[in-house]
Structure 1
């Protein structure tokens, strides 16, 4: 599935045959070339060599994130009429990489091969917290000694962090992986942004956020006109800056407009480890306890207490599935008095204990995951 270069065409294609229709096709091609001329000036000699982009695909990577990386590069080549970017794929063993949707991508290289990339982007999804590969760590550390820009897409920041390559750098990661990442790497400056470019470390939250990161790169490399043309071709009607938030606003997520209730919901999400009492939140948002309770029940269909517990349990379930933290540590991280209290509340909500949750995932992993990997 490795895409062919933008200028490649099959042997004996109609454009290789001198017929009226072929001549017409060539005239059309020249017109298309002329139409993209304003996007980039120069010849292959003056533009310089193609930028060599490596994509390291970790099993379970998301096709959405992958496509959002490669399609802007392909569009840049097609719209400019030049090979501005050359994409090559890397997998752990040299075997095809399996995505979360079951599609496979054929690699050009395997981890450990001597390579010369201008940029290496690691695409990882699934449960990157459970992924360990010492050979990959060592290979990334060697690349870090070269001028190669190292980046992570979606969960890809995990691989860089494990190799010790994000210390002293800003970074981001998909919001779902954020709690576990912060627990494991408290020294790293991780932010809830779409993408971060900090010197030679580029990280991106995944999803469609790579479109925004690649827009910034194309604009810097080849100018605003080409970046806009690529965005238009991909129907990217809004280009977001890297510092924009990953998730919808509280108002959009809950379809609520009441400002004081929205403020209360934000306080809850920001105080999972150290829960704030109902009376204190009511005081902060300038409502009586009765008014606050009535707002929760009328807009969310839950009491204040039930909603707060649901938010904390959702976080706890994520930590159980994605981290190696003990159950006692997860209980503390989600604001429960102790592990026994946590286990009782968890069982009441989900019908099984935190220990059962982990055992189920271990059995599922053993049945479905490749032996060499620890992926969910």
Structure 2
């Protein structure tokens, strides 16, 4: 992470908890700070919590945290992390956005964890930055902010802007920040403290490789599945997929049935409909736009396929999202 920087006093770290925030991501971000203080025997970090309206804020699992302050506080902060989960696309609090912009103008490092980067983007703080966020939120984010390039990485530290995909990657991110500020030895000790024996670099992948996730070893099939995954809006014809695998269409169909239990069309349809479900839950895109973004030619065609797959119309998924 570069040269060790000596800190004259404890860094103040704020956590803005948005209702529905992911508790694991938050815990993985704050606990390494506590461990760094305990292991070093010095108050290297101190922290505080804010929430919209200053009211108790509930995590996605139902646990409630009482914040120290509301949004707009003038408390000192070297860094502030926005912790969000659930459906960050629906969060639209102009007071929060204005406060975040004010902190950024003051030189505070602003971070977003899991769905937090979505809120930073809505505040206008991610333009021209290297950005990542949880893979579940990426399709909706890219539809809402097509001008912001998203990397499928664990975390990104770009000057005074930090974005993190969430989950356990928040621990990797904090260990990287501790190493930057206080050296490799302390960072390694913090990793050991949490039995995290393999600290991952920021550019590591968020998700398991398809080989592990699906339990498939056939390289031809894996090449095709990756191409399908990367072409949801414009589905590739079977002949093109077969060309990628260097087999005939008939042979490719056999590979799908042998390893996945169904054919190419069903697999592709399932992948596209899962993406549609994410967009319905996490964006306010009209149903027709969701249909087009997932490769369907009309909203009626999309609605029929969606109901067959999930047993409910797209409108019901949106209402329950």
The TM-score range, normalised by the shorter chain, is over 0.9
DSSP 3-state at the match of 1:172: coil
Query: Of the candidates 91, 104, 118, which is equivalent to residue 78 of structure 2?
Result: 118
In 1, the alpha carbon distance for the partners of 2:103 and 2:245 equals 51
Structure with higher RCO (Cα < 8 A, 6+ apart): 2
Match status 1:52 vs 2:12: yes
In 1, the alpha carbon distance for the partners of 2:295 and 2:252 equals 21
Match status 1:279 vs 2:239: yes
In 2, the alpha carbon distance for the partners of 1:56 and 1:195 equals 18
Q: Which residue of 2 aligns with 1:307?
A: 267
Superimposed CA distance per residue, residues 311-342 of structure 1 (whole angstroms, 9 cap, x where no aligned partner): 00000111111111111111110001111211
Rg larger in structure: 1
Match status 1:91 vs 2:43: no
DSSP 3-state at the match of 1:52: strand
Contact residue 7 and residue 181 of structure 2 kept, 8 A: no
Query: Of the candidates 283, 289, 292, which is equivalent to residue 252 of structure 2?
Result: 292
In 1, the alpha carbon distance for the partners of 2:43 and 2:66 equals 21
Deviation larger for 174-183 or 105-114: 105-114
Superimposed CA distance per residue, residues 102-160 of structure 1 (whole angstroms, 9 cap, x where no aligned partner): 11222112101112200000000111111110110111111111110000000000111
In 1, the alpha carbon distance for the partners of 2:75 and 2:38 equals 25
Aligned residues: 317
RMSD across aligned C-alpha pairs, in angstroms? 1.3
Match status 1:200 vs 2:160: yes
TM-score scaled to structure 2, two decimals?
0.96
Q: Which residue of 2 aligns with 1:141?
A: 101
In 2, the alpha carbon distance for the partners of 1:113 and 1:69 equals 21
Deviation larger for 346-355 or 92-101: 346-355
The Cα shift of 1:358 comes to: 2.4
Q: Which runs of 5+ in 1 are unaligned?
A: 1-40, 362-375
TM-score scaled to structure 1, two decimals?
0.82
Superimposed CA distance per residue, residues 217-238 of structure 1 (whole angstroms, 9 cap, x where no aligned partner): 1011111100000000110111
Q: Which runs of 5+ in 2 are unaligned?
A: none
In 2, the alpha carbon distance for the partners of 1:47 and 1:305 equals 58
